[in-house]
Amino acid sequence: MRLCINIDHVATLRNARGESQPDPVEAALVCERAGADGIVCHLREDRRHIRDADVRRLRDALTTKLDLEMAATPEIIAIARRIGPDLVTLVPEKRKELTTEGGLDVVRSHRSLRMSVERFHEKNIPVSLFVDPVAEQIEMSKEIGADMIELHTGEYANARTAEARRRQLRRIAAAALLGRTLGLTVNAGHGLNYANMGPVKKIHEIQEVSIGHAVIVRAVEVGLGSAVREMVRLLK
């Protein structure tokens, strides 16, 4: 199973100080050197983390692939078409949300989404749709010409009981099988971490996972000690 790392949180930290560090592009290169198969960043309408210049620099610097996550708005579509990422992942976006809250309603928005998919295909950019593990959404994704789907694993990640987790896992497995049967590439993401990844890894129809928060949290957990030790050594 391939791994793509979402580096939005690195940009959030940079923006908190209004400076240039930590640099999300440098972080992306670290991820690549560590074995990541690709980098994801979300250019939000409010630019709360990743900015236009970051996407351009990532485009130039990466040697794996750049997956640009975005809402299908005219402004962001135009930017994405100009920059030309290796893949775009279309997601629903709400101004006030802390992170993407659910999958696209492809069934309801099929006309506009079909047009968005076509706009990217004109530029030879493949399109992934972030969807809940629901058959109608997956069938409609295929119908409107998407190349891939990313299954929303948030409900699985948030399930509170073992039974609820198993139920969510069955939904994801069935959705992944349907996607593959329809000829779509199937990815998954949201809320995946070191503890809940095991059962997802066994769903062979899922070709790639996209992980952000858990990896950045882990980086702080395993990296903070050495950062402090380095400063202590310097002060001696």
Which residues lie near ligand PXP (CB under 6 A)? 6, 8, 42, 69, 89, 91, 99-100, 130, 150, 189-192, 210-214
Catalytic-residue membership of 110: no
Catalytic-residue membership of 190: yes
Nearer to ligand PXP, 6 or 64 (CB): 6
Rounded to the nearest 5°, which phi and psi values hold at 76?
-70, -35
Nearer to ligand PXP, 140 or 211 (CB): 211
Query: Encoding tokens for residue 34?
Result: 């560590």
Catalytic-residue membership of 121: no
Shortest reach from residue 230's CB to ligand PXP, in Å:
28
Shortest reach from residue 40's CB to ligand PXP, in Å:
7
Distance from first CA to last CA of the chain, Å, rounded? 45
Q: Which residue of the set 9, 32, 42, 205 is catalytic?
A: 42
d(CA 232, CA 92): 45
- Local structure of residue 108 (DSSP, 8 states): T
Q: Which residue of the set 32, 152, 190, 208 is catalytic?
A: 190
Cβ–Cβ < 8 Å for 7, 15 = no
Which strand (E) or helix (H) includes residue 118? helix 110-121
Query: Distances in Å between the alpha carbon of 215 and those of 4, 175, 191, 192, 194?
Result: 11, 25, 11, 9, 8
Nearer to ligand PXP, 165 or 232 (CB): 165
Nearer to ligand PXP, 14 or 190 (CB): 190
Residues annotated as catalytic (active site), given as ranges: 42, 69, 190
